[in-house]
């Protein structure tokens, strides 16, 4: 069983990291988590993104669940906000989520296959 002592160790380790950051620095990843997103499979996608960021120890990335942008037919939708650049991915599944982390977040190259422009009716 995970104990509170483990949690205290994590806290102490985190306190040693001196990286303080403002709210708008770094990369933000938004995952549509309204009824449409959830039914289309947004929860495992978000989960995968969180796991990847933790496993690969990627800094300055925040992942946030958000509402619906009105394109329910092409959910799950994931948006990557980096500086003034906004990339919207749709029909994202666990594999695409992994690609977004590896190719876009780490590699700096947009995953063209799932860009919203290819799916919008």
Binding site for another protein (CB under 8 A): 1-2, 4, 6-8, 10-11, 13-15, 33-36, 38-39, 43-44, 46-47, 50-51, 53-54, 57, 62-65, 67-70, 72
CB of 111 to another protein, least distance (A): 22
Please, which residues bridge with residue 89 across strands?
Answer: 78, 115
CB of 113 to another protein, least distance (A): 25
Tokens linked to 93: 């599944």
- In whole angstroms, what is the distance from residue 14 CA to residue 48 CA? 22
- Count the neighbouring beta carbons within 10 Å of the beta carbon of residue 6: 10
**Between 55 and 84, CB nearer to another protein:** 55
């Amino acid at each position: 069983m995970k104990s509170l002592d483990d949690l205290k160790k994590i806290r102490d380790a985190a306190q040693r990291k001196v990286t303080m950051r403002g709210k708008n620095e770094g990369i933000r990843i938004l995952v549509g988590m309204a009824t449409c997103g959830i039914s289309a499979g947004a929860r495992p996608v978000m989960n995968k993104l969180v796991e990847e960021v933790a496993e690969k120890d990627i800094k300055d990335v925040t992942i946030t669940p958000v509402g619906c942008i009105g394109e329910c037919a092409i959910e799950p939708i994931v948006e990557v906000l980096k500086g003034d650049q906004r990339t919207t991915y749709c029909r994202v599944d666990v594999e695409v989520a992994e690609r977004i982390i590896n190719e876009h977040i780490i590699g700096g190259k947009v995953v063209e296959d799932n860009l919203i422009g290819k799916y919008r009716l």
